[in-house]
Homo-oligomer: A and B are copies of this chain.
Amino acid sequence: MRKQRGLLIVLSGPSGVGKGTVRKELFSQPNTNYEYSISMTTRLPREGEVDEVDYFFKTRNEFEELIEQDQLLEWAEFVGNYYGTPLEYVNKMRDAGRDVFLEIEVQGAAQVRAKVPDGLFIFLAPPSLTDLETRLIGRGTETDDVIASRLQAARQELEMMNLYDYVVENDLVEHACERINAIIIAEHCKRERVEKRYFDMLKENA
């Protein structure tokens, strides 16, 4: 039986939420069977960094050409250097039936969402969201202004969730990883993904 097309898994969330820590923990587990998407950058390789392993290293001209050709799933410029996710690498992996994992900032995730509607978007939520209510209400002695500004901040965090399929609370790195792995297993069992293979097979044999 031919394989399902690989998933594109996008892990994102507000800065400081611990995306990198969770990603490292996921990829340190021996049974992790998805690919970490290698980023592309115009910054120079640091000592020990290997092209096509740590990054795809490109010149500014090459990078800008790829932007023009719409060959980047998402990109941004930081401190004079471009960083981005090459579309070709991701598609090649997915076509080979491999799941690809991106860990990116929310701005990048929004770009990917627009380009890959069947992507799997996981929002890593700050651990402090568990006690959002406590933070909002506080000790009951806060001024209306303080409560209003807390509500405003909470609302902005929540609105960022809007583009995502799942919300994983980063209360404990191990728990967050368990939930992310469960989400990936579940997505592979989604009826729309599974039945397509069977129906295609029936068509071919009809």
Number of copies: 2
Considering the complex, which residues of chain A in the window 90-122 have a beta carbon less than 8 Å from any beta carbon of chain B? 122
The stretch among A19-27, A43-51, A61-69, A194-202 that forms the contact with chain B is A194-202
Are B198 and A154 in touch, CB under 8 angstroms? yes
The answer to whether residues A1 and B191 also contact, given A158-B198, A182-B186, A185-B178 and a CB cut-off of 8 A, is no
Chain B proximity mask over A131-152: 1 for CB below 8 Å, otherwise 0:
1110011000000000100010
Q: A189 at the A/B interface (Cβ < 8 Å)?
A: yes
Q: A179 at the A/B interface (Cβ < 8 Å)?
A: yes
Are A129 and B202 in touch, CB under 8 angstroms? no
Q: A166 at the A/B interface (Cβ < 8 Å)?
A: yes
Bound-complex Cα distance A178 to B185 (A): 9
| Cβ-closest 7 pairs across A and B | A186-B186, A182-B185, A182-B182, A167-B194, A183-B186, A166-B189, A136-B205
